[in-house]
Structure 1
Amino acid sequence: MSVGTHEVKVKTWADGKVVELNVHGKLTEKDCEEFIPVIDAGVELHGQVRLLFNCEGFEGWTMGGMLEDIKFGLHHYNAIFRLAIVGDKKWEKAMATAVRPFTKADVNYYDITELELARAWLREGT
């Protein structure tokens, strides 16, 4: 996708135990308002969810998006069981390390070529 294109897709599988978030462009406050209820619904049903954050085409956050993302992390510290971050940039790989203090989740980074491996890891035991 070209720079400036904005699209966010959220899908669930394994009866809502796994949430897959695909972000192209910058993550906005409105985007967070759309995907957080999906995660909350999975947590309500299962106690915790597994989250795949696909960063292919991700260009960072707007200021409002960053603030909402920080609030999400603070309020969902125990809600994520496993977090797979999938990307193709060095800073995205570093993000996998940077989020660890903000979650109890088991966090793994996968290169975009390993997307199916990330999905398999998230499916384990569901």
Structure 2
Amino acid sequence: MEIQRHGLSVGIDRIEDKFFITFRIVGKLTHDDYAAITPMIAAALSSVEDPKANVLIDATEFEGWELRAAWDDFKLGLKHGSEFYKIAIVGDKRWQQWAAKIGSWFISGEAKHFDNLADALSWLNDEK
């Protein structure tokens, strides 16, 4: 029997004195994953004092969405897009680069794709 891991974890991390929200995505996300995680995302965003948060998305183990989950992701972006200043997406798949570009259309800040965590963290920490 093959075990298929999938899901999304949410955390709050810090680089020096700056806080940011982290998302780690594993496997292929389902509608049930979004039903479970959406309240956690809302809670994480409400715990950040500044209404504009930087976000790190670790998508190195992300394989995509089921159709309904992709719609859930789109709705989540519309609901919280104005609360994001910078979104760094870390992953090694070409479609993730496109997701960062398209994601920038739906947030008030900037989304950018990175091949490695160090570059993503440096960009998130940059004041520009």
Report the aligned-residue RMSD: 2.5
The CA distance in 2 between the partners of 1:97 and 1:53, in whole Å, is 14
Q: Using a 3 Å threshold, how does the CA distance of structure 1 residues 17 and 41 change in structure 2: closer, same or farther?
A: farther
Partner of 2:6: 6
Q: Specify the SS of the correspondent of 2:82.
A: coil
List per-residue Cα deviations over 1:92-124 (Å, max 9, x = no partner): 11111121211112111100xx20221232234
| Partner residue of 1:83 out of 80, 87, 93 | 87
Q: CA deviation at 1:66?
A: 1.2
The CA distance in 1 between the partners of 2:101 and 2:3, in whole Å, is 26
Q: Using a 3 Å threshold, how does the CA distance of structure 1 residues 19 and 97 change in structure 2: closer, same or farther?
A: same
Q: How does 1:112-123 map to 2 (within 5 A)?
A: 114-123=116-125
Q: Using a 3 Å threshold, how does the CA distance of structure 1 residues 34 and 51 change in structure 2: closer, same or farther?
A: farther
List per-residue Cα deviations over 1:18-46 (Å, max 9, x = no partner): 11111111122333344433443344332
Q: CA deviation at 1:6?
A: 1.9
Q: Using a 3 Å threshold, how does the CA distance of structure 1 residues 7 and 40 change in structure 2: closer, same or farther?
A: closer
- Please report the TM-score for the alignment, with normalisation by the length of structure 2: 0.78
Check the 8 A contact 2:18/2:125 in 1, yes or no.
no
* Structure 1: runs of 5 or more not aligned: none
Answer with 78-87 or 5-14: which moved more. 5-14
* Structure 2: runs of 5 or more not aligned: none
Q: CA deviation at 1:3?
A: 8.8
Q: How does 1:83-122 map to 2 (within 5 A)?
A: 83-111=87-115, 114-122=116-124
Q: How does 1:42-57 map to 2 (within 5 A)?
A: 42-44=44-46, 45-57=49-61
Residues matched between the structures, number: 122
Percent identity for Structure 1 against Structure 2: 29
Check the 8 A contact 2:13/2:19 in 1, yes or no.
yes
The aligned amino acid for 1:120 is S
- Please report the TM-score for the alignment, with normalisation by the length of structure 1: 0.79
Q: Using a 3 Å threshold, how does the CA distance of structure 1 residues 108 and 26 change in structure 2: closer, same or farther?
A: same
Q: Using a 3 Å threshold, how does the CA distance of structure 1 residues 17 and 42 change in structure 2: closer, same or farther?
A: farther
